[in-house]
Structure 1
Amino acid sequence: MSDEKNHVPNEMDDYQNYLKESMNGINDFHPYTEEGQKEIVNLGKNMARKTNIMVSLAILLLIVPIMTLATYMYYGIGGRADHLIDVVTKTIYVTEPNMSLEKLKVEDDIGLFSMNIKFDVLKKIGKEDYKIGNYDIDFLLDQPSFPKKNLLLDRPLAENPTKETEVMVHPKASIPFSTTDGWDILKKLPDGTVSEVYISLNHLMKPDDLKESLPKNMELRWFAVDTGMEITQEDKEGVPITPLGYPAQYDHTTWSPFKTNGESNEEVFLDILSLLEKNESVAEKVARAKSLSMSSRLAYIKEHGIKVYGAVITGPTEEIRKLQDMKEIRALKVGEVKLWNWE
């Protein structure tokens, strides 16, 4: 019995020693150093960062095509791109004297929620149409930026017109330039040239009456129409307005709105003004003056009819000089001059 009592404590001691050794082993077990542990944490962070980047790129690669497709649909559905181009090109015809363009050659490029259009502009001087520059217009959805223009003209019209820079003046408005300078320039030009001139009338005239009164061997190119605001050349808020007018001749090119198609140029002109009235924010960005006051000016024309206060004429310089003998002409400004091309 005494042997059994002496044997138990020895087994307990061995068990306790075993536990101590096991605990010490656990406490002493360090599979990674402190630097190794930091490296594992950093590796995890980098992997998470790369995963986030890859997920973001995947989302972007998915979104960009969808947004691009949405842009094409925006401009394509209902012909919105063609409509905006139509507004821009027709604004040129009725706000820029003796200026035209080739609508079929308008270049358009659709980007992300944007569209860019580029086109050349022309002037007819003598018998030929000359490229005089180009327009570059950016659209954000349906809102255009101000055009970037590159015009190659000897006598360009003022980019921001005012009463002091007008080249065609209403009969009741004061003339802001010398009335003799234009005639003096014509006298000094050689006979073997063709000229473009802007004339101001002594009184309002009907377009056909002006056509009939002009000497032969020259071409009437553009009418400046009285819209009720040309005396002050400003709108009701005092903002300068741009002249409104239309080509005097039928245009036989397929892209022109003034081609022979059963409508007179006067009717086409009124149709264009109605279009611009509905899209005035676009037209005002394209036109040189930043106010068109289209509603009131269109209403005035419909009430009083089309009467003109000025015009653009081209022809042989020696023939253009004969305009000085016309009592209907109050003043003249010389525009572009080219070498002989009349025959």
Structure 2
Amino acid sequence: MSDEHKQDQNNDENLYKAYMMKTKNDIHTSPSLSEEEQKEIIKVGSNTARNATVMISLAILLLILPLMTLITYLYYGIGGKANTMIDVVGKTIYVTEPNVSLEEMEIESEIGLFSMNVNFDTFKRIGSEDYLAEKVDVYFGLDKPKFPEKISFLEQLPPMGYGIDVVKDGQKMYHPDAGVPFNMSDEWDVLKGLPDGTVAEAYLSFSELMKPNEIEKALPKEMEIRWLAVDTGLEAKQMDKEGVPITPIGYPAQVDSTTWSPFDGDQTNEEVFLDILKLLEKNEQTAEIVSKIKSLEIKERREYVEDKGILIYGAVVTGPVPELRKLEQMKVVRAIKVGEVKLWNWK
């Protein structure tokens, strides 16, 4: 190896050693962070990460909520599901609650997230006027209803709750072959004790089954027949096959010319009644919850009526109290239950 080459090698080694020494000095002389400063850096990093997570989550929610709302509207809108539910609710009222009507044009629906609330008022005819009976709110989680929330404006408050006891407590009309579980003379005494200048609602139980067109001929003229209770083959037993009390079902006695009523005269009331039973048969769970009735047995009762025809065992009437008292002398009236009473308003 030449002297010149050795000299170059020595120069390279000296440069390398000088560079390494400078690097070590730089490391020892570079500024270091205190423990508090290091904690602050970690804290800032943690907050930044958390804020980023929150913002990402909010962005996802802002994207998902409109999508979920759209899905809800499509669920209730496609195929008219919302209209079907409202239709079932309204028609259930007509055939399970005697002398009760509603204004379908006033039914309000509010769609929430995978839910819908249906709100409406019901009315009772006492004398010649319709009085507010209840404000009703029915909540649907998708197509599953919950027990309705009701505010009653009646003097005789309806039984509260849902099930067998409610049916028993609310029973006011009885089949000719079924026992009457109250003292009938007591109810006639109630009617006799009311002032002459009042009008009242009365629930009649007949001593025999009658055809619808025979009812008006059998009762005094100075009263209005509001609702007819139909014999469906179960009322005489008063129980269904599982031992659950059977409640009356029926329909309004008169044509209602208002545009929102299903009993508007386009078909006979009997035909409309049977059509409603077919609708409720497909939506029986909803009808049972809306009507507070544990067992409707729609299919069995519909088939019986279609086979035997419509026969009436009870009715709701309203009119002046002095006229209602005359019913005591009529053999066709087996029992009476006095309903709502109002000051004179007769036509």
Using the size of structure 1 for normalisation, the TM-score is 0.92
1:335 equivalenced with 2:339 (yes/no): yes
Aligned-residue offset at 1:164? 5.8
1:25–1:336 Cα change, 3 Å: same
1:205–1:334 Cα change, 3 Å: same
Aligned position for 1:211:
216
1:270 equivalenced with 2:278 (yes/no): no
Per-residue displacement from partner, 1:1-35 (whole Å, max 9, x unpaired)?
A: xxxx9xx9999789757634531431442442333
In structure 1, distance between residues paired with 2:345 and 2:65: 53
In structure 1, distance between residues paired with 2:58 and 2:245: 50
1:314 equivalenced with 2:324 (yes/no): no
Check whether the contact 1:169–1:230 (CA below 8 A) recurs between aligned residues.
yes
In structure 1, distance between residues paired with 2:126 and 2:55: 61
Aligned position for 1:231:
236
In structure 2, distance between residues paired with 1:15 and 1:328: 126
Per-residue displacement from partner, 1:46-85 (whole Å, max 9, x unpaired)?
A: 2111111101100101110111111111111121111110
Alignment of 1:188-199 (within 5 A): 188-199=193-204
Alignment of 1:50-129 (within 5 A): 50-129=51-130
Per-residue displacement from partner, 1:182-239 (whole Å, max 9, x unpaired)?
A: 1101111111111100011111111111221111111111001111111232221122
Per-residue displacement from partner, 1:242-276 (whole Å, max 9, x unpaired)?
A: 21000001111111111122x11000000000000
1:319–1:28 Cα change, 3 Å: same
In structure 1, distance between residues paired with 2:345 and 2:11: 130
Match of 1:180, SS? helix
Q: What amino acid sits opposite 2:65 in the alignment?
A: V
Aligned position for 1:46:
47
In structure 2, distance between residues paired with 1:322 and 1:110: 51
In structure 2, distance between residues paired with 1:182 and 1:248: 24
In structure 2, distance between residues paired with 1:13 and 1:331: 126
Check whether the contact 1:235–1:241 (CA below 8 A) recurs between aligned residues.
yes
Check whether the contact 1:166–1:176 (CA below 8 A) recurs between aligned residues.
no
Deviates more, 1:170-179 or 1:30-39: 30-39
Q: How many percent of aligned residue pairs carry the same amino acid?
A: 56
Unaligned runs of 5+ in 1: none
Aligned position for 1:143:
144
In structure 2, distance between residues paired with 1:9 and 1:102: 109
Deviates more, 1:160-169 or 1:135-144: 160-169
Please point out which of 276, 292, 295 is paired with 1:291: 295
Aligned position for 2:226:
221
Aligned position for 1:260:
265
Cα RMSD, aligned residues only: 2.1
Match of 1:187, SS? helix
Match of 2:294, SS? coil
Q: What amino acid sits opposite 1:278 in the alignment?
A: K
In structure 2, distance between residues paired with 1:255 and 1:9: 110
In structure 1, distance between residues paired with 2:318 and 2:136: 24
Match of 2:58, SS? helix
Check whether the contact 1:88–1:283 (CA below 8 A) recurs between aligned residues.
yes
Q: What amino acid sits opposite 1:124 in the alignment?
A: R
Per-residue displacement from partner, 1:76-133 (whole Å, max 9, x unpaired)?
A: 1121111110000000000000000000001111111111111110001111111112
Check whether the contact 2:228–2:252 (CA below 8 A) recurs between aligned residues.
yes
1:32–1:187 Cα change, 3 Å: same
Q: What amino acid sits opposite 1:315 in the alignment?
A: G
Using the size of structure 2 for normalisation, the TM-score is 0.91
